[in-house]
Amino acid sequence: MAIRWVTFDCFGTLVDWNGGFASLLRPRFGVRTEVVIQAYHEFERDLEAARPHRLYRDVLANALMLAAAKVGVPVSESEAHTLPERWGSLPVFADVEEMVGSLRAMGCRLGVLTNCDEELFARTQQAFRRPFDLVVTAERVGAYKPAPAHFRHFAEVTGVARRDWVHVACSWYHDIAPAHSLEIKCIWLDRERTGDDERMASARVESAAGVSGVVRETLKIVE
């Protein structure tokens, strides 16, 4: 029998990146926290696309310093590096453990394709009740999504057929668009209601509660 895989983006999909990030930044930036986060996203994309490859902990710190300077509330390098040091405090979304438990009960193996690095994700994994079957980090493949390296590495390591693999993610830019271009079935867990083109996904849901049923239908899993 074929092994069926469900892979996930982590931050924003399984872990509350925005809420957790805001909680870490608010003591320093107060009412300007959201503006800093918006600027952070701009600089993060540039840093992730740059060469040579940087560890995610360095991307975090450098993008935060650039974002803070842009909005006029500069932070020191030492202050910026407290962000990766507190990375393990980012919370798992409340609807996630029930979803992953349901998928495991269906016999699916679960993987994570993350733009995080090895050491930081090791902290994050401790927040879950059970470890994932396979984790592919940006550090391991030397690239950041939306580059295709995570997906290609996962396919090479597992040997999974496209018909037996579904990818689940919140970020249209980082995950849904590249998965679509690689002809990988993908479920858009659209937590942020961005209004992007849902036709690129095999299905769109607004909470993790809707994922298991779509996976069952997409992978043709029979009880």
pLDDT digits (tens, 9 = 90+) for 77-96: 888 988 888 898 999 999 99
3-class DSSP state for residue 157?
Answer: helix
Contact, 183 vs 206, CB < 8 A? no
24 plus 9 within the same structural domain: no
User: Is residue 36 assigned to a domain?
Assistant: yes
Provide the CATH number for the domain around residue 129. 3.40.50.1000
Q: Which amino acid is at 127?
A: A
11 plus 74 within the same structural domain: no
In this model, does residue 32 exceed pLDDT 80?
A: yes
Contact, 146 vs 174, CB < 8 A? yes
* 175-207: pLDDT as tens digits: 999 999 999 999 999 999 988 889 999 999 999
Question: Which of 103-107, 160-164, 219-223 is least confident?
Answer: 219-223
100-130 burial by CB neighbour count: b if 16+ within 10 A, else e? bebbeebebbbbbbbbbbeebbebbbeebee
Threshold 0.75, pTM exceeds: yes
The boundaries of the domain holding residue 106 are 5-16+91-218
What pLDDT does residue 82 have?
83
Number of domain units in the chain: 2
37 plus 140 within the same structural domain: no
Provide the CATH number for the domain around residue 81. 1.10.150
What pLDDT does residue 222 have?
78
User: Is residue 223 assigned to a domain?
Assistant: no
User: Of the candidates 87, 109, 142, which is a domain's last residue?
Assistant: 87
